[in-house]
Chain A
Amino acid sequence: MRLTGIAIRHLVLTCILFSVLSLAGCAQRHDTPTLYERMGGQSTIEAVVENLLYRIADDDEVVSYFANTNIDLFATSFATQLCDISDGPCQYEGPPMDRAHQTMGITDAHFNRVVAYLDAAMQEEGVPLSARNDMLGRLAPIYEDIMRLQ
């Protein structure tokens, strides 16, 4: 009887341990989604970039910086960068931000306006507020890179 009791206790303990472990496993499998996923994946990111480009096209001052830019190449490159920075399955291999914008004469006003266009584009493409804030926060340090060689 005593042995049976011990065996049952072991069995119960093992069950509890097993369920705790599998719960932990569950928790790990349902890991918090990446920003890339919360944004809506590659299709949303590409829509955001396109939306942003339309907004830039309407801003005479900002659009002048794109006069010698291959827009398709820029769109692909920027989408890859957003995918990379949001922990998506991409690797941005384009030029560093300081070199890409050097001596263009970009002012704080232009930079701020593009940030506002990007946020509005994300909002219009249905990106939730928390994901927008997260993305803007990850992009914020780029300001120093872009302005370094102005």
Chain B
Amino acid sequence: MFQHLSSKRCLAFTVCLALSTLLTAAPSVAGSRILGTGAVSAIEGAAGGGLSPWAVLTSTASEGELSVTASATRAWLDDYRLSVIGTSVNIHDRMEFSIARQTFELTTLGGELEQDIYGAKARLFGDVLYHPLGIWSAGILHKRLVDGTVPTALGADDTSGTDAYISASKLLFNAFFGRNVLVNSTLRNTSANQGGLLGFGGDQGGRGWEAEGSVGVFITPNWIVGTEYRQKPDNLSVAQEDDWQSLYSAYFFNKHVSLTGAWLELGDIAGLPSQRGGYVSLQAAF
């Protein structure tokens, strides 16, 4: 779907769309769920923090409602730049489908890696606000590298792969100085190297379970600040891989527009050490 548009044009389009929505936001077309309960768009397209998919489904669509989101994300690391554009749909707060195109520019080494990610997530049971056990969801992320030459040369077994995950999210009311706290944990079965950008599997291993978690405090109903952690595999002997972590701040202007900023610590990537940097993501929901 994004093949014919350059990612820059798509990014500009998404930004314009989001900003015009911000100015003309009509509450009547928003979903019925409470502001912020749809989280933001994670870098793989599913609703989540930034690094990890969460159990909540995108936007604020509730029972009997439909909603579509579009997002644009950019991360500036020491030697790389990641751009993601994505879109997702929430059907009756039961199913979420997402598509994302990641472009990973190797600003130091030269060149770029691209992959498309097709996601589906189903709410199994519960609710992030009302259920004592929170909300539980299961999902898959099918990833396909556009050009697998570099990952294959580095020793990756495959140029496409599928992650499967189970995730739980729960809002704890009045849990921290009178503020609500959102906790999430995700267990992911994956063989993806650096999320799939460096292919799937390798000489040091293949598919395995990885744990991810986050905790955030809603300073106000519109503003959440938190941290996220994502365990990663380490399948390629020539390119050591580290766990990812972030400090994030997400602001929900209304049910239509959110802006997320984060500080990323992604460790070694493709032979270049301790990659750190900033992250900005804009999401619009209709």
* Shortest Cβ distance from residue A111 to the other chain B in the assembled complex, whole angstroms: 8
Within A89-105, the residues touching B (CB, 8 Å) are none
A115 to B129, CA, bound (A): 11
Interface flag for A17 (CB, 8 Å): no
A113 to B63, CA, bound (A): 11
Interface flag for B152 (CB, 8 Å): no
Q: Pick out which of these stretches binds chain A: B76-84, B106-114, B175-183, B275-283.
A: B175-183
Interface flag for B16 (CB, 8 Å): no
Q: Which of B34, B93, B130, B220 contacts A144 (CB 8 A)?
A: B130
A143 touches B32 (CB 8 A): no
CB-CB under 8 A from A140, the residues of chain B are 129-130, 173
B130 touches A116 (CB 8 A): no
B174 touches A137 (CB 8 A): yes
A133 touches B173 (CB 8 A): yes
Within A79-136, the residues touching B (CB, 8 Å) are 107-113, 115-116, 119, 128-131, 133-134, 136
A76 to B166, CA, bound (A): 44
Within B131-180, the residues touching A (CB, 8 Å) are 131-132, 172-174, 177-180
A116 touches B173 (CB 8 A): no
Within B47-74, the residues touching A (CB, 8 Å) are 62-65
Which of chain A's residues has its CB closest to B130's CB?
A143
A143 to B31, CA, bound (A): 18
Interface size on B, residues (CB 8 A): 24
Interface flag for B207 (CB, 8 Å): no
User: Given A116-B34, A141-B130, A141-B132, A109 and B62 touching (CB < 8 A)?
Assistant: yes
CB-CB under 8 A from B174, the residues of chain A are 130, 133-134, 137
Q: Which of B35, B63, B221 contacts A108 (CB 8 A)?
A: B63
Interface size on A, residues (CB 8 A): 23
B63 touches A130 (CB 8 A): no
CB-CB under 8 A from B241, the residues of chain A are none
A107 touches B178 (CB 8 A): no
24 contacts between A and B (CB under 8 A): A107-B64, A108-B32, A109-B63, A110-B32, A111-B130, A112-B33, A112-B62, A115-B129, A128-B178, A129-B179, A130-B174, A130-B178, A131-B178, A133-B174, A133-B178, A136-B173, A137-B174, A137-B180, A138-B173, A140-B129, A140-B130, A141-B130, A143-B130, A143-B131
A130 touches B177 (CB 8 A): yes
* Shortest Cβ distance from residue B104 to the other chain A in the assembled complex, whole angstroms: 38
Within B78-130, the residues touching A (CB, 8 Å) are 93, 127, 129-130
A112 touches B178 (CB 8 A): no
Given contacts A115-B129, A134-B178, A136-B173, 20 further A-B contacts (CB under 8 A): A107-B62, A107-B64, A108-B62, A108-B93, A108-B127, A109-B32, A109-B63, A109-B64, A112-B32, A112-B33, A112-B62, A116-B34, A130-B177, A131-B178, A137-B174, A138-B173, A140-B129, A141-B130, A141-B132, A144-B130
A64 to B130, CA, bound (A): 24
* Shortest Cβ distance from residue B169 to the other chain A in the assembled complex, whole angstroms: 14
Which of chain B's residues has its CB closest to A107's CB?
B63
A110 to B220, CA, bound (A): 24
